[in-house]
Structure 1
Amino acid sequence: MKRSINQVTGSTSATSADANKPVFLSKAQREELALNRRHDPIPDHRLLREQLDRSTPNRSERRRGRDRDGDRDRKRSFRERDREREEEEAKSREKARVEKLLDREKELDAIKEQYLGVKKPKKRVSKPSEKLRFSFDWENTEDTSRDTNALYQNPREAQLLFGRGFLAGTDRRQQKKHYTSVDRHWSDKRLDEMSERDWRIFKEDFNISYKGSKIPPPMRSWEESKLSSELLKAVERAGYNAPRPIQMAAIPLGLQQRDVIGVAETGSGKTHAFVLPMLAYIARLPPMSEENIREGPYAVVLAPTHELAQQIEKETVKFARCLGLRVVLTVGGQSIEEQGLKLAQGCEIVIATPGRLIDCLERRLVVLNQCNYVVLDEADRMIDMGFEPQVACVLDAMPSSNLKPEKEEEELDEKKIYRTTYMFSATMASGVERLARKYLRNPVVVTIGTAGKATDLISQHVIMMKESEKFFRLQKLLDELGDKTAFVFVNTRIKCHSIAKSLDKAGYRVTTSHGGKSQEQREISLEGFRAKRYNVLVATDVVGRGIDIQDVAHVINYDMPKPIEMYTHRIGRTGRAGKSGVATTFLTLNDTDVFYDLKQILVQSNSAVPLELARHEASRFKPGTVPDRPPRHSDTGYIN
């Protein structure tokens, strides 16, 4: 007999024994039981949903908002997919167009080849020098030669310091830092950090040269000039940001009351070179009063022409006004009575032409009893105009009791006032030398630029050749040296070592100097060269400037420098201190960029121009310019 569902499920009151018995259900009973279980929780779910809807009335709205966002995202994805499909189609069309053009070019090349033939590419022939090129890669620490290794020159004593970073009592970190330090440019150093080499480079940068003894270093900026704050403010107001070369050299000399002969062209800024130290000198003197006003001015400036005197007076007043000093202009062509009245009223500075000042002295309109500062501007021109007797008469009218001692060994008394004489000239004519010998005491000659005859002492030779012929010609020139010394300049440090090694094998006493060596190693090489332990120095442009070695007989430019300015600095290593020298340059067809400038230098110095250089097209016109006229006769140079 079949049991009902209630009997099958049983109640909680049934005994545990009956509950543990297995119950067998038919297929229909099982389906009915499953349906009951499925439909029973549905009302509960519906009730829960209605409660949630009543508690959150905006739930359906948010559900609709989510549906709208989903639709919007699907539309955006459809648009992006369409855009990507369009881009792919455009790329495929562009690719097809390029392939079509390539096919067209190939077709045209085939037609050219059919009618014009095949153009075979030239085969590059490598030179033997390129196949056997010597690569000399090394480090400074690998150099163990006695002339460069500081361990042989300055042996260290072992200290009781051991541990990390120390080797036998030596701090390797400090030693490595010392040897690998790169020397800075003088513009990056303070005044107290400047070395002798830095000052040499500074003077060469501004073409400053001195001749004399006990010369103070030039000033690099107005702040280092030791001028008073009033004068510095006046300089700043005038708009002079940086001093000119003649001012850099002459102002420190004037502040030390040194006699100066300045060789510089007109317009080089020499007016301020003597005005500023003159005003600094007058500022230390007692002011003009009724007691000393009849003794005359403190300073006199002589100029050959009215125009130059007026220009000097204009520049002097610009700076003298800030110190409360008076300036009187005394030149011809104006009323001498008016000028005499101004002189009688008293002034610290008189700017005059020689003839008018002599007239004032003869008429007793002015005296020079306390004048201890005199400037002769354009002295060579005054002598050419016949003013030498008048200039001598003006200098004789000054007191002679305050002249500097004639002997250089005697030191000057800082408390005493000496006569200071400035003389500016474009050339050192015989009349200028006569005045200097008679009235100047131990003067310092300052030359700016290429003025003077320094370059005439160097005999310049330029030889056209192939690159493979250079070393043979170098050996020939060095064989002619004898006991003399020579510089050999190259452009790279690798070539520097290569040539030095070849010369050393050939038996020459050679050393090197380049930027790969430390400053101490370069100084050791230069000291050996000065001591004649070596007679050949192979170097790069790192020693082409700022190096002062006397008695260098020959300078050889194995490689022509690309900036033409370095050519002048290189050959300037010879012909120093009034001695003659020889400069030889090896020139190849790879140096066409400097043909024009080199030819101009040779023509200006009256040196021979090689026939190949004179006829070369690159030497006729400046690089980057188009000729607009036929060459003139004055453009031709001296031909071997």
Structure 2
Amino acid sequence: MTRPISIDELVKNDTPRFIKKRDRVSKPEAKLVVKPKKIESVVQSDQLTPEPTIITQNKKPIKTQFNFDWDQSDDTSRGYTPLLELDDFDDTLPPPSVHWSAKSLQEMSESDWRDLKDEFNIITKGTKIHPIRSWGESVLDKSIVNILETSKFADPTPVQRASIPIATHQQDIIGIAETGSGKTLAYVLPLLHYILSIEENYLKYEHIQEFNLNKPLGVILAPTRELANQITTELTRFCSALNLTSVSIIGGHSYEETISAIKDGVHIIVATPGRLVDSLERKIINLSKCYYVIFDEADRMIDMGFEKPLNTIYENLPEINEADRQTFKLDKRITMMFTATFSDSINTMTKKYLIKPVQLVIGQIGEKVDNINQEFEFIQTKYMDTKFEKLVQVINKHARRNKVYSIIVFANYIKTVEELSDSLAEKGYKNITIHGSKSQQARERSIDEFRNGRVRILVATDVAARGIDIANVSLVVNYQMTKRVDEYIHRIGRTGRAGTKGNSYTFIEDGDEPLFPDLRRFLKKNLPAFLVNRNQTIKD
């Protein structure tokens, strides 16, 4: 039997050893076995075939060749035509993209419109819209555009960019937008445009006939007197320039005042639901020509128990007939509804009052207070007697940091508001109050004092949580926490308005614990200690 050749003996030979087929060989030796004839044929058939080398331990290379047993007819590259010739290759960079604001309307692509919507956090469902880029590019009546361009309204806000093209195309809207976002003009401007588009002879002659004097052409409903007054103030600025009339119908004003205000006719009514129903029942107001209805803060109306009055108002609205279709240039009644939350009640209202509405959201729900620094302090029951002193400390600290400041202190009950006001006055802090038990004149006077900076501290119930648009409120204090997170959002939304920075400070008690899960979901991150570890907070 032949002894196998060792590795040491094998590598001493410079020439590969060829072994007969019947001989036994080791695996290392077998790897070095090649057939000379095959090598020659490969070299002759393809001179481009590389000659691989094997480096041995003595560093002398052993040359060998690989044998590829194929026919050249199997070459799959034959007949290949390249898609791009080298001479045709253009290595220049593509031109830089042009921002949508630098393009004409004709140059705008669908991608540009998507970029615009993304830039302003505009989300729509139910229609495909192109937001307006400027007042001049909107379809608003030219007289309205002239007022806008010659006033402080330099550019539309996101909610205005989106809602105006929807409403001017006579589509219903249900929308949500952040506080201080310009929502009022978002529905006022389309309403004014609608009225100016009505047949001229009707506006000039028929509308001022005695039987039409108490018939408004549009109505805006608000949950509180304060919000109604704020809307009326904004609306009057345009109505005066456009030779139109708007009237506010709210509690605290006598019916005689309303009758006097509409004696020469009225185009738009701004009202609270209960007071408007009273005026309808007394025949002071007639809605038979009202084809345009707007709900502002519809969720708040439901919370305040206005669902029944709203149903009554809708029962008094007309169905459009052929004659009015021609005169008012409408195919259906137009309804715009703005709300902070899409509750079951709001969904019911939407199905009942709106026709194929477009859903509009500006930004993400919960982002509306990202510009507000929110602080919390948990007070155990046994330390409640120190709560007022802590409030004073918060006010002092804020006043030291801000030479000019305005503070709203919220409480849940009228009695607490009055007690806080008296206690702050004893400490030398001049303040005013606002709550539901005060007369309308007193409430308006308090807001005016606070808005003009004559008084720096306003102590209020939730009547001031919505509808009061006061610039530069630097701090909101929740002396008593709300029972619902959406009301908390509206409270702190009095500061940090229209993109400015704001601050809030909230006192939390043991009794507020049912609100913790919703508050945790709202805050999402940077949770205060009492939410991160409730038990540890109590022990501390």
Using the size of structure 1 for normalisation, the TM-score is 0.42
Using the size of structure 2 for normalisation, the TM-score is 0.50
Higher CA-based Rg: 1
